[in-house]
Chain A
Amino acid sequence: MAVLINKDTRVIVQGITGRIGSTQTRWMLDYHTNVVAGVTPGRGGATVEGVPVFDTVREAVKETGANASVFFVPAFFVLDAFYETVDAGVDLIVVVPEHVPVHDVMKMRVRARKRKVFALGPTSPGILVPGIGKMGIMPAAMFTPGRVGIVSRSGTLSYEFAGILSEAGVGQSAVLGIGADPVVLTSLPEILKLFDDDEDTDAVIIVGEVGGDQEERAARFIQRHMKKPVAAYVAGKFTPPGKHMGHAGAIVRGSRGTVTGKHEAFQAAGVATLESPMAVVAWAATHRLR
């Protein structure tokens, strides 16, 4: 049983008629993802890359039996689209767009929890299960099937780690990005639990970055609950304090959220801390991961 995406996952692409939505639909189909419907209000009846487009998520679900959705809608429409999708009974949502207002995300998070919807993002690269499919923007070339799980706050760094492991002959069970915003819909410990319970995953790599306290919380979870080996990398050692490095999540405030603080939290929890991305290869070798 794979993490989140499996053979029964039937995917809606919201914002499918946009430039990015249509391109990414092509890439997802090329990766054999079961994309069954697109939704763009006002464009119902159209077809994009052979996928039927509906005006509403409710219609898309009714006509195609869709049970998952990936968003490529403009940031200001994300809240509305999210509520629409939850109300239509979809229980897995990936929010790719960046610049979604933080107050909107707080509301979405409450709704998702209340309705037991699993949601990634915003600013998430999505999820990719090698050999099964992908929801989001991850470039397929970097991934190979295997038994290592990767969870990342950064999109691009999740590709980097998967690429390094793939070159070293170590495949992945699933790779996902939780998003790098100050508030995200699903936190690191929740993803770690999925991997710990997944029989196709032998070990997990956390790719974190400076700012916030996701990593510190993850460390506490690992210490208390996790059985599988975990390694962690934290980007941003030389990031000047107080500078915005692209996403607001990566702001250093006081001593909290520093790379050193996160390393200490991980080490105290028995997690191997990786000084650089390439160090993951040696770690995988000591754990005989393939």
Chain B
Amino acid sequence: MRLHEHEAADLFEMEGIPVPKRGLAESTEKALQVAGEIGYPVMVKAQVLAGGRGLAGGVQSVATPEALEDCAGCLLDSDIKGLPVRKLLICEQAEVLQELYVGVTVDGYHGKPVIVASKQGGVRIEEVARRTPQNIAKLALEPGADLYPYQARNLLAGLGVSRQLLITCADVAVKLYRVFMRTEALIAEINPLAVLSNERVLAVDAVLELDNAVLPKLNYSTASRLERMENDLERKGRQIGVTYVDLDGDIGLISSGAGLGMASMDIVGKRMRPANFLETGGGITAELLYKSMALIMMKKGLRAVFINLYGGINPIHEGAKGVVRYIKDHKVRLPIVAKALGNRQEETWEILRAAGVHVVTEAATEKAVDKLFDILDARSRPMNPSINR
């Protein structure tokens, strides 16, 4: 789960990282009040969970209350990268001499935390990494180990940071690493780490991506996670305990695994477009599949449903009961094609067939999707007039 900038900045500050004076505003009035306390000029930053926010116009500098009124009014009504702006962070604007980058992430392949630093921070850091990798320094640490200041100094000195600035930046890196370890995060990042006069530094932006598996331990409620999801259907998916991704096609898709779901999307995508992607994980019950059916059917303009399940850890015969109960309760007329294989497959097929579901018993998802295409092709073909009286 990605935290909002203001939440991450609060955690960074608690660890002793220098962050700007700031205040949160949900209205223009509040923005004016906060800016009055901080003193102009201020930075106005839309609190949306999207990368590239700055380049999309979500970060602006204003020098006067009038300019702030215009800017806040405009941003609070807008979308940034498709996400509605509900809150603004009003920050002190310091005079920046140089922008650095410091981040901590997980090297997935080697299973180690990695500190990444650059003297060329700012919105184009990814371009820097791609074009001039020599301007990026990395250090992998042993899992569970501390980052010592000397390690951070070595890393930064290698980039040409020196004197008092070296000590100040190393201190920020050590503290950022502590936040990363304490919150068991996936990413902790300061971009830019602004260098001010007198060799002071300021974490002008704050990014913290937490591991969903750790949220209960960190006391983040389910509600706090749900409120971050902007899509209603995706939020409902989280509520019932499945992964739901909203897409723009017209074939509803339920699968019992992420890999299988992605492969199903690829195969459906050869000729048609999936309307959604619902992945149950390993917790299938009749109830869960009933709710899953209800969720994918909420999508408007659906032409058919494809259900792709394996009975490994999942009791698919139970899942089938849920699907069938939904079909009966709601008198579903849409064609439904199901492939369900594994433990108790014969029982599962019988349950589904009794409710009019087209069951494919071969292993290849392509064969099931071909069946789905055939059914839809037959439906869209004009009927023979001699039969259609």
Contact = CB atoms under 8 A, between A and B. Distances in A.
Interface string A209-225: 11011100100000000
Contacts of A278: 364, 366-367
Interface stretch (B165-173, B251-259, B326-334): B251-259
A235 B263 contact: yes
Interface stretch (B25-33, B56-64, B274-282): B274-282
Contact of A183 (B111, B126, B212, B217): B111
B341 A159 contact: yes
Contact of A109 (B111, B255, B266, B282): B111
Interface in B98-115: 106, 108-109, 111-113
Nearest to A187: B109
B213 A75 contact: yes
A212 B245 contact: no
Interface residues of A, number: 68
A231 interface: no
Interface string B229-266: 00000000000000101010000000111111111011
B288 interface: no
Contacts of A142: 341-342, 363
Interface in B21-66: 51
A137 interface: yes
Interface stretch (A8-16, A37-45, A97-105, A193-201): A97-105
Contacts of B311: 139
Given A110-B142, A163-B363, A182-B186, A139 B341 contact: yes
A115 to B, nearest CB: 15
B143 A153 contact: no
B341 A163 contact: yes
A273 interface: no
A137 B184 contact: no
B133 interface: no
Nearest to B311: A139
Interface in B63-93: none
A225 B84 CA distance: 51
B260 A236 contact: no
Contact of A102 (B186, B261, B312, B313): B186
Contact of A250 (B51, B258, B312): B258
B371 to A, nearest CB: 14
A138 B312 contact: yes
27 contacts: A75-B213, A99-B213, A101-B217, A106-B113, A110-B144, A125-B312, A137-B312, A137-B313, A141-B341, A153-B259, A154-B257, A154-B262, A155-B257, A160-B260, A160-B310, A163-B363, A182-B108, A209-B259, A237-B269, A240-B247, A243-B245, A244-B245, A245-B277, A246-B281, A249-B108, A250-B262, A278-B367
Given A164-B364, A238-B274, 16 more contacts: A101-B184, A102-B186, A102-B211, A106-B112, A110-B142, A140-B343, A141-B343, A142-B341, A154-B262, A156-B256, A182-B186, A212-B108, A235-B263, A238-B269, A240-B245, A276-B366
Interface of B: 51, 106, 108-109, 111-113, 126, 142-144, 181, 184, 186, 211-214, 217, 243, 245, 247, 255-263, 265-267, 269, 274, 277, 279, 281-282, 310-313, 341-343, 345, 362-367
